[in-house]
Structure 1
Amino acid sequence: MREHESEPVPGLPERLPAGETILWQGAPRWRPLALHAFHLRALAAYFALLALWYLAAGWGADPQDAALGALRLVALGAVPIVLLLGLGSLAARTTLYTITNRRIVMRVGVALPMTVNIPYAAIRSADLRQHRDGTGDILLRLLPGHRASYFALWPHLRMLRVSSPEPVLRALTDAEAAARALAQALAASASMPVRALHGARIDDDHAARPEAAAAA
């Protein structure tokens, strides 16, 4: 992990050394990033159910008060949703993922840009997860002894894996192209034949079981 103020190459804190080349670069789309990383659908559903429960519970006693209370709950729920959408927009604009023939570089950070380098020797597997909105994520699992910083990478990781953070390249419009580049790089790094990287199409942020994975 490295903090930096300038980029001689977009997404990188310094020029690539001899022999290292960029295979793919991309940034997340802000709306899918916010929806899937922050579980906004689940959050909206929670406040909607809470408002309906309040409305149903109080309708018999005072319908007007019940309706006003339900509206207040809806307004209360809209505040964090709007804030998280704004955070997702900022995170997307300040993020750039880079896949080279030697590593993955994640430039992240809204207030303080930093780069996180993940060498292929540290990667146990990489899975492609696709969503119905046309975007996809690449989930990385690290080998024992290698640990990413949860707070440095948030929200570019699986949210519930605090003890063993798993980096995620999120909300990519060309996820399949990124997956192919990564599969080839991992195979070359491990001197193994390239295996296809497929993913199951899902609509939430739970991990899908891939048909195949590129493993280091």
Structure 2
Amino acid sequence: MSHDDFAVEPVRGLPETPPEGERILWQGAPDWWRLSVEALSLPWVAGYFVVLAVWRFITMMDQMPLVTAIAAALPLVIMGIVVCLMLMLVGYIQARATVYTITNRRVAMRIGAALTVTLNLPYTQVGRADLKLTKGGTGTIVLDLMGDTRLSYLVCWPHVRPWVMRRTQPALRCIPEAAKVAHLLAEAAETRVATPKIARSAPQHALAAE
């Protein structure tokens, strides 16, 4: 029997059914490989263990036969492979648990593998959006929030702008076709902010002349 951890969602990626008039324009998730590379620093971790293995080999090659020096450095290589595989697994799980949603009224982010939360970010609270493109068309859209809106960096990680902790900036990390998605988001936000809000006031009764 298959099991869906998010079967309670009335709409995929959203904690509740969108209100009348709200339309889903786009949904997506991070590319797990790019998330592992950018958010989990996979190349840096791999390079660290390579440097350790090479250093161990160089320091040992003058003291023992070549084969023995290679054998002495091999545990560091194996350790590096294991750590990198673990990081890739974390990246895959994070990407699989994430759903980014853009509607005509807000950006919603269902994030977190162990602790799942959904961020609802109305366009009226978004001051600006910055796009960072990478090779292959993937990219990250960073949202700079206005007002007193405060988010926890640790709760939102890795779906945030890296190392900006004083005022956490949520981000749609490593999404495919990021330029197209950014254009869609910009149009939706501009339309929403420019739409006037009409408040319905209580009916006024004319006063009878005395």
For normalisation by structure 2, the TM-score amounts to 0.82
Q: 1:48 Cα shift?
A: 0.9
**What residue in structure 1 maps to residue 131 of structure 2?**
128
Which of 137, 140, 145 pairs up with 1:137? 140
The structure with the larger Rg is 2
Q: Percent identity?
A: 42
Q: How big is the alpha-carbon RMSD for the aligned residues of Structure 1 and Structure 2?
A: 2.0
Which of 15, 20, 23 pairs up with 1:21? 23
Aligned with 1:138: secondary structure? strand
Amino acid at match of 2:17: R
C-alpha contact 2:137 2:179 (8 A) present in aligned 1: no
Which of 67, 84, 94 pairs up with 1:81? 84
Which of 152, 155, 158 pairs up with 1:155? 158
Q: 1:191 Cα shift?
A: 2.5
Moved more, 9-18 or 60-69: 60-69
Higher relative contact order (CA closer than 8 Å, sequence separation 6+) = 1
**What residue in structure 1 maps to residue 114 of structure 2?**
111
Distance 1:55 1:175 in 2: 43
Q: 1:5 to 1:148 in 2, by over 3 A?
A: farther
| C-alpha distance after superposition, 1:88-127 (max 9, x if no partner) | 1111111110011221100112134321111222222111
Q: 1:39 Cα shift?
A: 1.0
Task: Kindly indicate whether residue 178 of structure 2 is the aligned counterpart of residue 175 of structure 1.
Answer: yes
Q: 1:164 Cα shift?
A: 2.2
| Runs of 4+ in structure 1 over 3 Å off | 63-66
C-alpha contact 1:5 1:113 (8 A) present in aligned 2: no
Q: 1:18 Cα shift?
A: 1.7
Moved more, 99-108 or 75-84: 75-84
Distance 2:68 2:146 in 1: 56
Distance 2:11 2:39 in 1: 27
Q: 1:71 Cα shift?
A: 1.5
Amino acid at match of 2:150: R
* Structure 2 gap ranges (5+): 1-5, 196-210
Q: 1:188 Cα shift?
A: 2.0
Task: Kindly indicate whether residue 33 of structure 2 is the aligned counterpart of residue 34 of structure 1.
Answer: no
Q: 1:185 Cα shift?
A: 1.9
Q: 1:144 to 1:54 in 2, by over 3 A?
A: farther
**What residue in structure 1 maps to residue 200 of structure 2?**
none
Q: 1:186 Cα shift?
A: 2.1
* Structure 1 gap ranges (5+): 193-216
Report matched runs for 1:89-104 at 5 Å: 89-104=92-107
Q: 1:64 Cα shift?
A: 4.2
| C-alpha distance after superposition, 1:107-163 (max 9, x if no partner) | 112134321111222222111111113312111222252222222222111232222
Distance 2:78 2:162 in 1: 26
